[in-house]
Structure 1
């Protein structure tokens, strides 16, 4: 139970005095219960009105200073790890989707340039995907260049996260605790099946959140989670509380892939790397658009991206709770491009001048979608 705050504190004073602290929760291998890494969680000064993260981040958002708080929380977490008696091989740190494009501080730039002796995994909630997909991909590229990784958090809360998984291909997929607590609903079974398939395809590590009992642990294993976190393994606390880690934790994650999230070239050029273009004939574009629309309608979870305002009519009636629709303001490279991607499927059509190429393999369709989305906010 939370204690009643007795000290009033403004967000301005907190930021100016850097009065944010980090607590850390272990992330463990579910089979061996060895600690693979730590997740950093932000807290304000104890006993103040801003001690807990809900009030802390709400106050920063209301004051228009969310970016400053986000950066400060990350810096404080890194500072704690750098002076810890034993550094974790993996540090998981949360970040707000609305401030992805905020420049790093010089201190953080110097730190990552020096390659610290641990790997950082930045966690982003599924809220980031439909709202700022371009920023998400640009950030993922920067993180990969540094040798670090991305985790998609709270997967299962919104069906939209399942649709974006093939586009983002995070190193870590974190299943929301609601799936672990109620695993036998149709929604939970769908989430688990999609996550298992995507993890097998990409090599992502699946983490189950909110494990508090042995029953939760058994459920997480049954759903395909490899790692987990929750009160069963340890509550958030000082970093000194955990001194023993599996040194192979960082090596168990897929290696970084610089450039993966922002492929070089136009959509047409990306598509023709896997399939040669052909001469376009009358009706080709229309047929391709019909197939794309039918593919999207046949799936509850999908991301549809269209590169040309002239193709806006294609999008009529496609929007749905698990289906994201993105229309670019202007063509990319003067091309007509439309793509649909979702769990286990993908299709893209690219037309340029008198040539056309269609692809129906997921990796290529996802790469085409990344090129398009990189031109959005």
Structure 2
């Protein structure tokens, strides 16, 4: 690092001078110990922009993220030469997901020639890219494969979205989030590993475990099904290749052929010779609903993608179903002519071009790690009633076909959702819904009133041009929800539904949305009828605009979700009780029940953490082994109850004499352990012996048991890291021996 580089403090200077370099962390085969690859980790110049977090945060704030990302990738491949990373090694290079749309891999491919001849490259994509811009992501993956590079999906398990998109991205390497190997196994880990191992078994993909720092982590990585690993156990990131391990080749699965893309048709993904059936649209609707119900049972690792031909087929009833899908599944997409980029909040949409073959299809794809199904249909062009129009279709559970159809649809999904609003089915613009007249009107108005009267959701219309914004229309369903007749509510502001226990924060947000003329969704507590019976209202408010763009009315749709909210709250309460119970069980497993101090198991864990920090910071740690002298005599003379009371008093005195960060545990019987972290190596032993003297003095003070005082003393042995050992076991053994010597000086002299 030059003096000039050391003074670099702004992202503009970094980019103009190219002051970015890479360090390389080895990736190792767990079975053989061979180094088969390195991950290139970006580093900035010495100073405030040295770490990747600071570096990329500065570029993001300056709007120059794409430039920095390109510079880091180029530095990673150029640096591979200086780091002596020669074939058969592979280099893993990260791609920042936020730049996929603005820089769709062209510069990545342009620097392919900078890699050493024969050096394989694997591009890492993090799960943050998956839901935000899926079409760009899929296109980028195809471009990477075109130049013969591999694809790794990073941080798998950190979010359920990574499992949902795994079968669509088809990564060659699945990188497990480090928490999977470093934390205690639980149901979530089991779900992740079922999905990952199932995918690896089907595709031959490699599983790589990150964060391996000790033997325990290594054993857990192997147990989870990983064949590759990286972490400090194998070596820290450095400027050159490690020299103490053998080198081997990374055997990636065979190159994958292109499956489908934004120009492909899901119906066209059906294998040649697939048996096709003919059915009216009415049957396809029911088959689609069945697949939607299956998707909701699959949960957050499920992807749902569907086509609707035209926006008018995405009906209010469809909106309600897809709102439920968004709440229960990982990713939901809807495609059709004139559909907005977000037809329902959370649903990712796409407007199909007039020449897009998907405009003539009815497709529903449901894909998760352990389930795949697709309804793929093509319109036969019938005239007549809409529900009687015929389609030729296939219902397939063949995973390969479902994945190809899913890629074909998701590859069309827009990158950024826009604010949602009522959509005009003919033009894709905000719709101006006419006011509903109280009587008479045109045929369209009569049909609209009948439809609103028949719906099971409460519907209201408020006049935003009148003082206090009164209700001018309510349907029969709303009368039942409110417990009041139309005559009792028309002309009033709908705040009469609220009560003293209605959340004022939700009300404030609703009023702010109305002031801004924005759409609003929430669930809030309302009250019904004269008895003021509480009920939970899932409300959706949508503005109605006049020709000049001014808000003239608000349409409200209300649904009673009391049963759902009650069930959810009961479930949360039960989960909270279970968590507290498990926490109590865990606390008992790590705590001495008599004194309330940590037991040896917890003390050892905390000491290992303190020793690890000491090794990083160059500090010293002392371990004190304390044994009471005279305790047995008290126990024999006064009984076990008195002995227990004496141990509790001693524990309190020891706790009171230690610093806040010091460690204290009861080893068993009349033995205690004390840990003193963060000591100066030059004075650690002296400090530890000083603390030992203070503890001995505290123990010697008389203890009143009943009406008579008793007195005991203590023998203490001291060991210090690093002089007496680097691990807990040797330190404990040395402290124990010195305690015994202090207690039995004659034996020690012999």
What TM-score do the two structures reach when normalised by structure 2? 0.47
> Do residues 229 (structure 1) and 230 (structure 2) align?
yes
Q: For residues 1-377 of structure 1, what are the structure 2 equivalents within 5 Å?
A: 7=7, 9-46=9-46, 48-88=47-87, 89-101=89-101, 102-104=103-105, 108-109=109-110, 111-112=112-113, 116-242=117-243, 246-249=247-250, 252-260=251-259, 262=261, 265-273=264-272, 275-300=274-299, 301-308=301-308, 309=311, 310-311=313-314, 312-313=318-319, 314-320=321-327, 323-328=330-335, 329-331=350-352, 332-333=356-357, 334=359, 335-354=361-380, 355-376=392-413, 377=415
With over 3 angstroms needed to count, the CA separation of the structure-2 counterparts of 1:212 and 1:260, relative to structure 1, is same
Tell me how many residue pairs correspond in the alignment: 369
Contact 2:91 2:121 in 1 (8 A): yes
Taking only aligned residues, the RMSD between alpha carbons, in angstroms, comes to: 2.3
With over 3 angstroms needed to count, the CA separation of the structure-2 counterparts of 1:242 and 1:15, relative to structure 1, is farther
With over 3 angstroms needed to count, the CA separation of the structure-2 counterparts of 1:318 and 1:253, relative to structure 1, is same
With over 3 angstroms needed to count, the CA separation of the structure-2 counterparts of 1:270 and 1:113, relative to structure 1, is farther
Structure 2, unpaired ranges of 5+? 1-5, 336-349, 381-391, 416-750
Distance between the aligned counterparts of 1:151 and 1:171, measured in 2?
A: 6
Pairwise CA distance, 1:113: 9.9
What TM-score do the two structures reach when normalised by structure 1? 0.91
Pairwise CA distance, 1:283: 2.3
Distance between the aligned counterparts of 2:258 and 2:114, measured in 1?
A: 18
Contact 1:25 1:39 in 2 (8 A): yes
Contact 1:160 1:321 in 2 (8 A): no
Residues 190-210 of structure 1, C-alpha deviation per residue, up to 9 Å, x if partnerless?
Answer: 111211111111111000000
SS of equivalent residue, structure 1 residue 253: coil
Q: Which moved more, 1:313-322 or 1:111-120?
A: 111-120
SS of equivalent residue, structure 2 residue 298: coil
Distance between the aligned counterparts of 2:65 and 2:247, measured in 1?
A: 34
SS of equivalent residue, structure 1 residue 157: coil
SS of equivalent residue, structure 1 residue 127: helix
Give the structure, 1 or 2, with the largest relative contact order (CA under 8 Å, sep 6 or more): 1
Contact 1:168 1:261 in 2 (8 A): no
Structure 1, unpaired ranges of 5+? 1-5
Contact 2:271 2:401 in 1 (8 A): no
With over 3 angstroms needed to count, the CA separation of the structure-2 counterparts of 1:373 and 1:104, relative to structure 1, is closer
Pairwise CA distance, 1:274: 6.8
Partner of 1:3: none
Distance between the aligned counterparts of 1:350 and 1:341, measured in 2?
A: 14
Larger Rg: 2
Residues 280-325 of structure 1, C-alpha deviation per residue, up to 9 Å, x if partnerless?
Answer: 2352211221121111011022001122343453412111475211
